[in-house]
Chain A
Amino acid sequence: MPTTLNLTALSVFIGFFALVTVLGFVAARWKSGDLSQLHEWGLGGRQFGTVISWFLVGGDFYTAYTVIAVPALVYAVGAYGFFALPYTIIVYPFVFAVMPRLWKACKEGDHITAADFVQGVYGGKWFAAAIALTGIVATMPYIALQLVGMQVVIKSMGISGEVPLVIAFLILAVYTYASGLRAPAMIAFVKDIMIYIVVIAAICLIPSKLGGYSSVFTAADHFFTAKGGATGIILKPSQFTAYATLALGSALAAFMYPHTMTGVLSSASANTVRKNAIFLPAYTLLLGLIALLGYMAIAAGVKVSTNSDVVPALFATLFPSWFVGFAAAAIAISALVPAAIMSIGAANLFTRNLWKPLIQPNIAPAREAANAKLVSLAVKFGALVFIIFLPTQFAIDLQLLGGVWILQTFPAIVFSLYTRGLKLPALFLGWIAGMGVGTTLAIMQNLKPVYVLHFAGAAYPCYIGIIALVVNIVVTVVLSLVLPAKKA
């Protein structure tokens, strides 16, 4: 890693950062709406067509942390790190089949969060509050990890310390406060185009410098053979169930998060959601190519002390300074878009499903939007404090638990779209069981995502989120059958 200041890279970086800052404020006037209403501030007025939604959801779902962490995992363990690819493929048949239905239900009920929808179906306030709280807690460390992504690229340009991170986040906080979801929607255009340019340049130029893709894979193969253990350019049979359940569990969890949910609900119609399920896989191709950067780093002989430095280190080795700055800006802006949408999604949940029902039931709509704006600031500030004062590993561990937790909202949200046969106490107890089992297993594994199940003498490592979801579903279904019908 270069630790000297790279002025060319830094100037390019600051230039692009200034551009998106201006865009963030201009966005308040875009497709103008009354930003003192929560559905305008927090869902962009539910009017984004196919193209805007494509950029928005793409910019939201494929985050800066992904760009840093996926190649880092591939660099460290090889094929196993590729589960992100099947994950981001099989998520789309699910989005295509389920999310348009959810969009319709939310439009009809004027719901702006998943917890709103659950409240609309089952009534009461405590279970909806539990769903909202799950979403908020799962999202907080995710925002923190976007900061980690930004920190990594800022560091790669030779700047140390937390000041640039604080400045970047202050700017983000202010324009999200002013413009709501319109800001990340507009910035997502810039972010996505920049990331496409960086990745296409990387996959065209880097292999030619390293002797083509076959030598990249050969170098990775030799590297992992020497390294040993559960690594390699294909999987060990003992990794099959872990790979498959991680892909499936991540895919089922992906659109339960408040930020992806917000992206879907801000679409103009159910049909927009369907069309986006068809076209969003373009980003998955990009993600697969980004993952390969891990192997290219191996082939280029890049050595890093922290795996997450691998992408910036690879770029610094092979690209001219100005392009290193461009790539760093692309990754940093990739952190801004999801961080903004995550904080908006969490703010919507807090305001709608915790504050309003539990503390101030007769809150005026304008006051509600004002509350959400303040909460979006608090959420981002929390994430910033988290990253500055606690070890990064803590955020990574919590984000992992967050994935396990958010998956436990799946039965309440998805099954309720198809059946009215589930009962509220059953769903609540199922959620509690899933949260309990998932958290316990994760802690038993020292916060690793996989737990080994034994069947008939054979061992099957499985993603803990899936194990907990199965427990959750069994409890929910059995209790729904056993419990007496609600006294009406």
Chain B
Amino acid sequence: MPNDDTRPSGLGVKLLLLLPYVALLWLPFYNNVQPPLFGFPFFYWYQFLWVPLTSLILYVIYRWVR
């Protein structure tokens, strides 16, 4: 565990919670076929990618804030 003085302030890290909303609700970011990955158009793999990313963000906040 990090020391108390190296702990990020709660608010700063909690702002990470907003990232999935920005990334997924602004469609111009990802409404494309190119570049595909493993046969999946970008539109699909980008959204799938945000599933583990969101879990990761929640995990980071769970560990470092509280």
Chain A interfacial positions (CB closer than 8 Å to B)? 79, 82, 85-86, 89-90, 92-93, 96-97, 212-217, 233-235, 237, 240, 243-244, 247-248, 274-275, 277-279, 281-282, 284-285, 288, 292
Contact = CB atoms under 8 A, between A and B. Distances in A.
B64 interface: no
Contacts of A244: 24-27
A108 to B, nearest CB: 19
Contacts of B55: 92, 278-279, 281-282
A215 B41 CA distance: 11
Contacts of A233: 33, 41, 43
Task: Report, nearest first, the 5 A-B pairs whose CB atoms are least far apart.
Answer: A213-B39, A214-B39, A86-B24, A240-B27, A93-B17
A126 to B, nearest CB: 35
Nearest to B57: A93
Contacts of B28: 240
A92 B27 CA distance: 20
Interface in B8-34: 14, 17-18, 20-21, 24-28, 31-33
B25 to A, nearest CB: 4
Contact of A90 (B24, B38, B43, B59): B24
B52 interface: yes
Given A93-B21, A288-B51, 14 more contacts: A86-B47, A89-B20, A89-B24, A90-B54, A92-B54, A93-B17, A93-B18, A93-B57, A213-B38, A213-B40, A233-B33, A234-B32, A240-B28, A288-B48
B49 to A, nearest CB: 10
A278 B17 contact: no
Nearest to B30: A234
A247 B25 contact: yes
A281 B52 contact: yes
Interface of B: 14, 17-18, 20-21, 24-28, 31-33, 36, 38-41, 43-44, 47-48, 50-52, 54-55, 57-59, 61-62
B61 to A, nearest CB: 7
A49 to B, nearest CB: 16
Given A92-B54, A217-B41, A244-B27, A275 B62 contact: yes
A243 B57 CA distance: 24
Contacts of A284: 51
Q: Is the interface of B mostly helix, strand, loop or mixed?
A: helix
B12 to A, nearest CB: 15
A291 to B, nearest CB: 9
A285 B54 CA distance: 12
Contacts of A288: 44, 47-48, 51
A89 B25 contact: no
A212 B26 CA distance: 30
Given A93-B21, A97-B14, A243-B27, A281 B54 contact: yes
Scoring A214, A234, A292 by chain B CB atoms within 10 A of each residue's CB, the highest score goes to A234
A89 B43 contact: no
A234 B38 contact: no
A278 B59 contact: yes
A240 B25 CA distance: 9
Contacts of A214: 36, 39
Contacts of B27: 235, 240, 243-244
B43 to A, nearest CB: 5
Given A213-B39, A233-B33, A247 B62 contact: no
Given A234-B33, A243-B27, A93 B54 contact: yes
A208 to B, nearest CB: 12
Given A89-B50, A284-B51, A217 B58 contact: no
A240 B54 CA distance: 22
21 contacts: A82-B43, A82-B44, A86-B24, A89-B24, A90-B25, A90-B54, A92-B58, A93-B57, A93-B58, A97-B14, A216-B39, A217-B39, A217-B40, A234-B33, A243-B27, A244-B24, A244-B25, A244-B26, A247-B25, A281-B54, A288-B51
Contact of A85 (B40, B47, B57, B61): B47
A85 B24 CA distance: 10
A85 B54 CA distance: 12
A223 B40 CA distance: 17
A89 B41 contact: no
B24 to A, nearest CB: 4
A79 B42 CA distance: 12
Contact of B31 (A234, A274, A279, A282): A234
Nearest to A92: B54
A217 B34 CA distance: 13
A240 B30 CA distance: 11
A247 B24 contact: yes
Contacts of B24: 86, 89-90, 244, 247
A96 B61 contact: yes
Contacts of A79: 43
Contacts of A248: 21, 25
B48 to A, nearest CB: 6
B51 to A, nearest CB: 5
